Structure 1
Amino acid sequence: MTLKIENITKKYSDKFVLKQVSCELYEGIYGLLGPNGAGKSTLMRILVDVLQSTSGRITYNGADISTLGESYRDVLGYLPQSFGGYSNFTAEKFLHYVAALKGLEGKEAIVKVDELLDLVGLQDVKKKKLRGFSGGMIQRVGIAQALINDPKVLILDEPTAGLDPSERIRFRGILSELSQDKIIILSTHIVSDIEYVANEVLLLKAGELIEKKSPTELLSELEGNVWSMIVEEKAYLKTKHRLKLVNTHHLQGKVEVRVISNDKPGDNAIAVLPRMEDIYVYYFGEND
C-alpha cells in the first residue's frame, strides 16, 4: 500500500501555503510536525480530497485520488482539527449516523459502534448527549468516527488536543496497534506524542517539506548540540535573545537553561541527550 505525494503546491493569490511537497508513505505512523502556518492542515485537507491543490497530485496505490472518488473515500478516516459532532446526538447515535454515511448498516454497524466506544473509553457514557461532554470526550468521539470504516488511510489533525495525559497514552497505544496495516498521518503540537509512536517524522516549514526521517535519526543528528547550564539571572537577561532556548528553570538568583547550540554556549555547559522538543526548537525556533 502506497500513498504518494507528488509536487503538491497550494497557492492563494500570490501567497504559497505549500511548495512542491513530495514524499512516499507506506504502512506505519507518520508524525507531521511544524509551527502554526506551516501548511499542515492544508496538506491534510488535500490528502483527504476536500481541498484541491494548485498543482501536483496525490496517488493511492498508483491511482490519482481525484479519479478514484468514492473508492478512495471508502478507505479514508479523517479527524479534522476542529471537530464538534452534533451536540443533540448521543455518542452512540452520532457514531451510528457516521456508520450509515460510510455504508455500515444493521448488525455490522451495531458491533462496530460498540467496539469503538470500548476502544476510546466511552462505553459508560454512550447514551449521554455530546453537548454535555468535555473537550477530551468530544475528541475521543472524533477519533472513534475516524475509525468507523476501518480505514486504510487515517488522517488525524491535532487528535490529542484536549486529551489529558492518561488519555494521550491510551490513544498512542491505539495508534500503535492500528498501524500494522494502515498509513496513519498524525499532526500535533505535542511533540512527545510523535516521539513515542511515529515511524517517521515529516518536518514542514513555511509550506516546504524540509526533512523526512525517523525520530531516532533526527535525534542522533542533534547529539552534541543540546546543552544544559546554570547562569546568573543578570547574565541570562543579557544573553537570552542570542540563545536558542528549549526551556528555562528559574532558581534563586540563577537560571537553569536548556540550549541548542553548535558550540559550547558557556564554561559550565554540559552536553545532554536530545529530545523531540529539542528537534522542534532546532528547526522552528526563533533564533535561526
Structure 2
Amino acid sequence: MKILVTGSNGLLGQKLSVLLQQDKNVELIATARGKSHLDITNGQFISLDVSDKHAVDEIFSRVKPDVVIHGAAMTQVDQCETDREACWKTNVDATQYITDACIQHNTHLVHVSTDFIFDGSHGPLDEEEKPNPVNYYGESKLAAEQLIMRSHASWSILRTVLVYGITNDMSRSNIVLWVKNSLEQGKTIQVVNDQWRTPTLAEDLAMGCYLAAIKKAKGIYHISGKDFLTPYDIAIATADYFNLDKSLIQATDSSKFKQPARRPAKTGFIIDKAKKDLGYEPHSFQEGIGVLAEQIR
C-alpha cells in the first residue's frame, strides 16, 4: 500500500514517517515544503507545496498513492487570525487540491482536523456534536471538512486536540517542554485553569492516522488522549513527573492573556468510536510524559 503523507516535517508528520516505515506492507511517500527533516530509509521524500495545485496533480499522477494522510496545515491560531489569506490558502484551497486529486486517482483521504471547530461551550465532545468555531483557524478547518464531505472522495476526517510531543530536531516546543524548561530555570509561570482539553501524544495521533489509513475507514473520528485536563493540571503533572518545584506554577484565567484569536474554553473528545472501529488505544497523560522523558534522554 502506498501512503502519501503531507506535512511530513511537522510534529505529526515526523511521527507518521517513523511509524509507516516500520510496516513492510507500506510504501511511504513523505512530502513537505523544502528538505526533509528526517532520514527516510524505507520510502521516499518529495518536496511539495500543497497550496500549488499543479504540484499536487503532478505528484499524484507520478506516485498514484492508495491513501493520503493530509496533515499539512497552518496551525498557529493567532497567525491564522491576522493573516487570513495565507490561512485559507493553506487550510482550505490546499485541501481542495488534495481532495480533487484523491477523486481523480481513486485515493482514500485521511484528513487531520481539530477541536477548534467547536465553540468551547461544553465538553468532552463526540463526533455528532455541531461545529461552531470562534476563531478563523477553526473556520478554515471546518470549511476544509465541509468541502471533503461534499465531495465524492473516499474519506475519513480525524479531529484531534492539543497535540504534544518532540520533533527530531527539537524545533517545536509544547506545553510539557515549556513547563519543564521554565521550572528548571527557576522561573515563575502563569498557566490558565479555565480551559479544558484532552491532550494528545503525537505518537497516539500518528497511530490513529495509521489505523484509519490501513483500514480505509470512512467517516469522522475523534482522536485524542483520554484525560480531561486544564493547562494548569498539565503543568502540575509535568512538575510532579520531573520532581520540579510546583510552587512556581501560578493558576490564572484566560482573560489575563491578550491574544488575537479567541480560544474555545472547553473541548476535549469522547474517543469511544475510534476505540471501537479502529482499535485506537491512547496513552494516559502520565504515560505520555514518560514517552517524552525517554526521548529527551
What TM-score do you get using the length of structure 2 for normalisation?
0.29
Looking at secondary structure, tell me which structure has more strand per residue.
Answer: 1
Looking at secondary structure, tell me which structure has more helix per residue.
Answer: 2
What TM-score do you get using the length of structure 1 for normalisation?
0.29
Q: Tell me which structure has the larger Cα radius of gyration.
A: 1
